[in-house]
């Protein structure tokens, strides 16, 4: 297995995603990575998939998970079948009881969905919001072929006003590696306490930044020496993804989050990306939900909602699935 060839294909594919990158395995250190590469008759790579393996204690089995995989033209049944043949070998190696995938295919992509079903996958289209491992609904800006000024002019008037207001107030916004990780962690803790969500450790964020070798950065806003907001983004496969974000309770009227997003969007344009991905907007359609404010904020940048098809499961050993799922939950909360 040539990891360099795998990474070269994944990072340049229109179907690529950072969670299918070999770099992602350095972030998810509690999973075992397995790689699949499929070549055509001339030897060119036409599809890849990263599988993360989670061994289940006491049961001599494992769960397989391919986040945002596979990376290929999923309308091509020949490629999908070749990938799945290798999946079965990996499943046999680890005595796996199931494989879960959540590919980046549109919810209306009937061809891809039916191809997966014909291979034996069960489509969980009923899962919404937090029922899924990865959010099904992302907010996207198509920046391909557009200048930064054209994109800025497309924002809603209040959004443009808030960006300029932040600049007038003297807020600075710059990119960093791990040197500002302490400020970022402090803001994450403040945001988690305010909004009621679990946050990852400083070590996790630092590992993520280092793993992507310059393509994952912190974007931090300061007023003088006071950190006001921060984001961790990944530039991969012609897409800048806003993966984690946080903000202070202080000086919120200085609108640092607007300036921060605009700074990352300009970075995406300058580096030749085709897409800026704000990532998840779960429950965007429910104005009474506590997450609705996230969607309302992102909406100011005049992107579009992209709803993915969701999760697909393939069961290898159905008799073990219930027991394994219980053990996984116990381990997660222990």
- What's the token pair of residue 56? 């289940």
What is the residue whose two structure tokens read 């590992």? Answer: 207
Instruction: Report d(CA 235, CA 279) in Å as an integer.
Output: 13
Residues of the chain with CATH 3.40.630.30: 3-134+309-333, 137-307
What's the pLDDT band for 323 if we cut at 50, 70, 90? low
Whose CA is closest to 275, among 213, 233, 311? Answer: 233
Is pLDDT of 251 > 60? yes
CA dihedral 272, 256, 149, 240 (to 10 degrees): 20
pLDDT at residue 130, rounded to an integer: 84
Beta-ladder partners of 53: 32, 64
Q: State the CATH architecture for 137-307.
A: 3-Layer(aba) Sandwich (3.40)
pLDDT at residue 329, rounded to an integer: 61
What is the end-to-end Cα distance of the chain in Å, rounded?
Answer: 36
Is pLDDT of 326 > 70? no
Is pLDDT of 334 > 50? no
pTM of the full structure: 0.94
Q: What is the pLDDT of residues 87-124, one digit of tens each?
A: 999 999 999 999 999 999 999 999 999 999 999 999 99
Q: Please give the average per-residue pLDDT across 245-265, as a whole number.
A: 97
pLDDT at residue 99, rounded to an integer: 97
Between 123-127, 219-223, 238-242, the lowest mean confidence (pLDDT) is in 123-127
Q: What is the pLDDT of residues 165-198, one digit of tens each?
A: 999 999 999 999 999 999 999 999 999 999 888 8
Is pLDDT of 320 > 80? no
Is pLDDT of 231 > 50? yes
Q: State the CATH architecture for 3-134+309-333.
A: 3-Layer(aba) Sandwich (3.40)
Between 13-17, 57-61, 106-110, 147-151, the lowest mean confidence (pLDDT) is in 57-61
Instruction: Report d(CA 70, CA 72) in Å as an integer.
Output: 6
Got the DSSP string for 70-81?
A: -EE-TT-HHHHH
Instruction: Report d(CA 300, CA 265) in Å as an integer.
Output: 13
Got the DSSP string for 106-137?
A: BTT-HHHHHHHHHTTPEEETT--GGGSSS-SE
pLDDT > 90: percent of the chain: 89
CA 178 vs CA 186, 205, 225, 309: distances in Å: 14, 8, 17, 35
140, 275 contact by CB (below 8 A): yes
């Amino acid at each position: 297995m040539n990891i360099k060839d795998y990474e070269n294909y994944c990072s340049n594919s229109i179907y690529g995603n950072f969670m299918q990158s070999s770099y992602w395995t350095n972030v998810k250190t509690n999973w075992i990575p397995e790689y699949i590469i499929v070549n055509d008759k001339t030897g060119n790579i036409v599809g890849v998939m990263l599988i993360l393996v989670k061994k289940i204690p006491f049961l001599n089995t494992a769960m397989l998970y391919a986040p945002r995989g596979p990376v290929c033209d999923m309308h091509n049944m020949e490629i999908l079948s070749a990938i799945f043949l290798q999946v079965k070998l990996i499943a046999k190696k680890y005595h796996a009881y199931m494989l879960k995938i959540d590919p980046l295919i549109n919810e209306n992509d009937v061809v891809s969905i039916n191809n997966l079903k014909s291979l034996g996958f069960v489509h969980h289209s009923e899962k919404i919001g937090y029922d899924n491992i990865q959010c099904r609904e992302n907010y996207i800006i198509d920046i391909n072929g557009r200048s930064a000024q054209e994109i800025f002019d497309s924002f809603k008037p209040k959004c443009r006003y808030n960006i300029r207001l932040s600049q007038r107030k003297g807020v600075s916004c710059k990119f960093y590696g791990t040197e500002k990780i302490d400020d970022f962690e402090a803001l994450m803790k403040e945001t988690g306490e305010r909004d009621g969500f679990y946050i990852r450790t400083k070590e996790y964020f630092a590992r993520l930044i280092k793993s992507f070798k310059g393509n994952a950065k912190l974007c931090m806003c300061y007023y003088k020496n006071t950190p006001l907001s921060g984001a961790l983004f990944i530039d991969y496969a012609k897409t800048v993804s806003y993966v984690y974000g946080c903000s202070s309770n202080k000086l919120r009227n200085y609108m640092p989050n607007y300036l921060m997003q605009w700074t990352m969007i300009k970075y995406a344009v300058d580096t030749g990306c085709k897409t800026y991905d704000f990532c998840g907007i779960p429950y965007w359609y429910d104005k009474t939900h506590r997450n609705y404010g996230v969607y309302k904020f992102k909406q100011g940048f005049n992107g579009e909602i992209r709803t993915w098809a969701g999760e697909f499961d393939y069961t290898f050993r159905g008799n073990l699935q219930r027991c394994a799922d219980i053990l996984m939950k116990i381990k997660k909360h222990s």
